[in-house]
Amino acid sequence: MSVIVIVDDRVTNRNIFAKLAASIEAGIVVRTFGDPVEALGWLAGNTPDLIITDYKMPHLDGAEFIRRFREIPKAVDIPVVVITVYEERSFRLRALEAGATDFLHSPVDHHEFVTRARNLLKLRHQQILLESRASSLEKKLEHSERTRATAMRDSREQLAQVIDTVPVMISAANAEGRVLFANRQQAAFAGIDVAAITGAPLAELFGAEHGARNRSLDRVVLETAKALPPFEEEIVGRDGEARVFLTTKSPLRDAADVVTGVLTSSLDISDRKKIEAHLRHLAHHDPLTDLPNRTLLRDRLRRMIVRARRGDQQFALHMIDLDGFKSVNDLLGHAAGDRFIQLVSSRLADTIREHDTLARIGGDEFAILQTSVTNSEDAAEFARRILETVSECSGFEGAPLRAAASVGVAMHPADGLTPSTLINNADFAMYRAKAGRGDSFCFYEADTHARARRDMALDSDLRRALERGEFVLYYQPQIDLSTGAIFGAEALLRWNKPGEGVVAPGAFLGRAEENGLIVPINEWVLREACREAKGWRDASGEPLCVSVNMSPIQFQKHNAPLLVARILGETGLDPRRLDIEITEGIVVTDFDAVASDLRRLLDLGVRISIDDFGTGYSSLTYASRLPVSRLKIDQSFVRNFRPESHDEAIIRTIVTLARSLDLRVIAEGVETVAQMEFLRSEGCDEAQGYYFGRPMPAENFRQLIQTGVSVERSPRRASA
């Protein structure tokens, strides 16, 4: 219902206008006022939809009336029409300035009056509608804003609750290594109050050592802006108990997507690990004696062979078969037979040394892997002790039994280079011993004199080879996995033996280590490799690096740093271009002396890699305690690599270890694109293997650095 107010001092006009106004639409309410002041009084408490006012009135003219009217709250939007007889612009201007909406000329045209008034009313109604819509929208908005805020607060609280209750330690640190946040699990494990942790240095949360490791891993995440693949780590809690965690680290980004910190979460997998270890133990041990079984023996053999590749370690495999065990069973029954086996196994266990392996590989068959053997006499002496030990079990449980065994011995490397040949040959020797009279041992190769003669011949051949320059170096490319470019090569020794062709080092290095010829041979290798590498430039003119294998024997006299310095001086090779590959075998007795030699080499600017990494007993300790620059993952883990295998876990652990120690890591034995892809995804820095190129003569390598290797293609066979 519309309300129209009419203000005019003349009664006639008021009546006419009121009638016209009432005719605009049905139900219109018209209020008329003769006095504008009186009208203002009414307007202060009422809101009309349209005002029609005369201009010339006593007390107040139209302009002043409008000005005062517009001062009333809510009056700003109400249309006011001024009726004026004055033609002069100045009146209109005043009225406009005061807030008039429209004008009508007096005498008023009735039709025009009605039309204008109707239009203005329509406008007014639309305006009111819009206003009410806007205000309801505003209310709705306000409401939804309020519910959103509550929902946000609720979900944030819920999230915080979840974070605090999940059985995972969660924390975040900023680029300066200060804690941004830690959940309750984390704080409880560290034994600190959650409230006190924000802003504390990482060491406070994790302890000094683990804190430093975390810090360097965080740096990798901050630099690469990428998450680290999950890795396993052992963490000691405040209660002193070490537990195993599966840890992930990922970048923390701000609203502008800039990495500002690192989020770390660690899931406790200690229980799972214990079960796994138990299952592994079951799979690798004999249930009756709890000794390693055949599978584990093979695995230990495989590792020993890798370690002995440089020839610095011989070892012997003894196969032991009890003589006449069947009669124990027949005489005393199976339960007693089992007890007899247990007795023999515990006696044998007392005869072996720390790194030796005693395995039960069949009903009455045992095997002993004897490490640190210098010659066949050592092995023979040990075989005699085995026989003696078994014979001490005679008269078992009071029965009239003479216990005895037959033992077959195979030596590495002379009697075989693989686990299978060693096992077969030791078995063969054992059958020979049994076929004789039993209670005795046999070597695989009975004629030790013939072996000695062969050794002597090899000694003189090697001496001659050195004099006549029959040794050559082959080079195998090393690739930077982030660019796919060759950055250097490993120098690998070959013997161009007259009448026999190219001989690989496995066939003669062992002998050279034994007779000491390794020292002059390796000195030649070092000089030759430095001389050759001095001329290497890649396509962009950048010099390349060379890796040289050094023998542990060369470190025994502690003159290796001097030798290296002299040869670098002679050949003029930039020390930063030389990488020296050592193995764990380097630390035979005096750890500190070797460490100080390595430190002196590093001081020269030379780099040091630990070769065949992961195969030794103390890899982890040596990696953190010896001064080195790079870890070289042994090819046995890489070559046979399959996803989700044991090898995968080892590789991952080595890469993580290298990262936390700030060492580079190279993988050798890369033969397939899948292996390369995996290594790259794990964050391994460098690689070497047949996939990129086999060891090749110097000339071929010089050509290769001009063309480069095609990393994504099928393996190239540059040379044999």
Among 528, 612, 647, 686, contact with Mg ion (rule: CB under 5 A): 612
DSSP-assigned letter for residue 109: P
| Cα end-to-end distance, the chain, whole Å | 104
Residue 708 beta carbon to ligand C2E: minimum distance, rounded to whole angstroms: 18
DSSP-assigned letter for residue 505: G
User: Hey, what are 143's tokens?
Assistant: 């409401």
Kindly state whether residue 619 participates in binding Mg ion, applying the rule CB under 5 A: no
Report yes or no: 6 and 37 within 8 Å, Cβ to Cβ.
no
- Binding to ligand C2E (CB under 6 A): which residues in 48-107? none
Residue 581 beta carbon to Mg ion: minimum distance, rounded to whole angstroms: 4
Judged by phi (left if over 0) then psi (alpha if -120 to 50, else beta), residue 592 lies in alpha
Q: How far is 585 from 501, CA to CA, in rounded Å?
A: 30
Kindly state whether residue 492 participates in binding ligand C2E, applying the rule CB under 6 A: yes
Kindly state whether residue 310 participates in binding ligand C2E, applying the rule CB under 6 A: yes
Q: 663 contacts which partner out of ligand C2E, Mg ion, none, CB within 5 to 8 A by kind?
A: none
Among 24, 690, 698, 709, contact with ligand C2E (rule: CB under 6 A): 690
Q: Which amino acid is at 81?
A: V
Q: Which is nearer to Mg ion, 444 or 637 (CB)?
A: 637
Q: 164 contacts which partner out of ligand C2E, Mg ion, none, CB within 5 to 8 A by kind?
A: none
Kindly state whether residue 312 participates in binding Mg ion, applying the rule CB under 5 A: no
Q: 695 contacts which partner out of ligand C2E, Mg ion, none, CB within 5 to 8 A by kind?
A: ligand C2E
Kindly state whether residue 477 participates in binding ligand C2E, applying the rule CB under 6 A: no
- Binding to ligand C2E (CB under 6 A): which residues in 599-658? 611-612, 635, 639
Among 282, 504, 562, 649, contact with ligand C2E (rule: CB under 6 A): 504
Q: Which position's Cβ is nearest ligand C2E?
A: 689
For residue 611, give Cα distances in angstroms to 141, 424, 490, 625, 640.
Answer: 68, 30, 11, 15, 18
Q: Which is nearer to Mg ion, 186 or 636 (CB)?
A: 636
Q: Which amino acid is at 329?
A: N
Kindly state whether residue 432 participates in binding ligand C2E, applying the rule CB under 6 A: no
Residue 605 beta carbon to ligand C2E: minimum distance, rounded to whole angstroms: 21
Among 41, 58, 333, 506, contact with ligand C2E (rule: CB under 6 A): 506
Q: Which is nearer to Mg ion, 321 or 611 (CB)?
A: 611
From the list 372, 385, 364, 312, the residue with the least C-alpha distance to 550 is 312
For residue 319, give Cα distances in angstroms to 10, 103, 303, 369, 551.
Answer: 136, 123, 18, 9, 31
Q: Using CA atoms of 332, 336, 337, 341 in order, give the dihedral in degrees to the nearest 10.
A: -140
**C-beta pairs of 175-178 under 8 Å, 24+ apart in sequence:** 175/222, 175/260, 175/261, 177/201, 177/202, 177/215, 177/218, 178/202
| DSSP H or E run through 545 | strand 545-549
Q: Which is nearer to ligand C2E, 68 or 310 (CB)?
A: 310
Kindly state whether residue 525 participates in binding ligand C2E, applying the rule CB under 6 A: yes
Binding mask 545-584 for Mg ion (x = CB under 5 A): ----x-------------------------------x---
Select from 48-56, 97-105, 593-601, 684-692 the region that touches ligand C2E (CB under 6 A).
684-692
Kindly state whether residue 214 participates in binding ligand C2E, applying the rule CB under 6 A: no
**Alpha helices, DSSP H only, in 225-322?**
270-284, 294-307
Q: Backbone phi, then psi, for 668, in 5-degree steps?
A: -110, 160
Kindly state whether residue 412 participates in binding ligand C2E, applying the rule CB under 6 A: no
User: Hey, what are 498's tokens?
Assistant: 């007259």
Q: How far is 308 from 412, CA to CA, in rounded Å?
A: 8
Q: Which is nearer to Mg ion, 36 or 488 (CB)?
A: 488
Q: 505 contacts which partner out of Mg ion, ligand C2E, none, CB within 5 to 8 A by kind?
A: ligand C2E
Q: Which is nearer to ligand C2E, 586 or 663 (CB)?
A: 586
Q: Which is nearer to Mg ion, 265 or 478 (CB)?
A: 478
Triad 700, 638, 633: Cα angle to 5°: 85
For the chain, helix, strand, coil in percent to 5 are: 50, 25, 30
Task: State the residues that interact with ligand C2E by CB under 6 A.
Answer: 309-310, 476, 492-493, 504-506, 509, 522, 525, 549-551, 581, 611-612, 635, 639, 668-671, 688-690, 695
Task: State the residues that interact with Mg ion by CB under 5 A.
Answer: 549, 581, 611-612
